[in-house]
Structure 1
């Protein structure tokens, strides 16, 4: 049996061969596998990585997806997606969304500077996008 790696809501494990014999992983294991998968996908290009991030965001929190992408060294892809979400909001919702992003990305385990670097990138992207609009 060929092993496939799948990430989906309420999964027990991302590896099909483990699922087939009823093996279960904790959520922290899912995050580690997703980080490795993000590193592999990054080699294929930005559009594949973008699609992977969007897929994960359909069932995982921004906090978890930030952990995955920070660990994979791919925070800029996630910052671009957050900027797109920010642009879709009315002005009144943008401040609240920025606060939500700041809270979600404030993770000690990703390193002391990753959340700051992410927020600086996010703010720059949003500012640049709002000037263009």
Structure 2
């Protein structure tokens, strides 16, 4: 068994997920489909980590459920930033990539699709909503 443990990803997040799954499995699941689904999601995430572990000790991790971005250096979180993420009908894309350059505080404009499909209908329904 110790040989198998050495093959696991060594990142702090992987170990935290393992601990979360272990404690989740100790709880009596019964017929609660939400709890069963959550345990399955944790196990699936661990499997993804095993197949695509982060190779470097320096990385940026986007944690969608926590709405957070972490800058990690040798298992130490140097910075944490809040994120805005997508909705179930327009989810945030996921990727694994090497960063060469990034932009701090980029200029951002509301995309046409969001303006016309989300914001404009709200303004039509309640034009005074933005005034407070």
Do the two structures share a fold, i.e. TM-score over 0.5? Answer: no
Structure in which a larger fraction of residues adopt strand: 2
Q: Tell me: higher relative CO, structure 1 or 2? Use CA pairs within 8 A at least 6 residues apart.
A: 1
**TM-score interval for Structure 1 and Structure 2 normalised by the shorter chain:** under 0.3
In our comparison, the structure showing a higher alpha carbon Rg is 2
Structure in which a larger fraction of residues adopt helix: 1
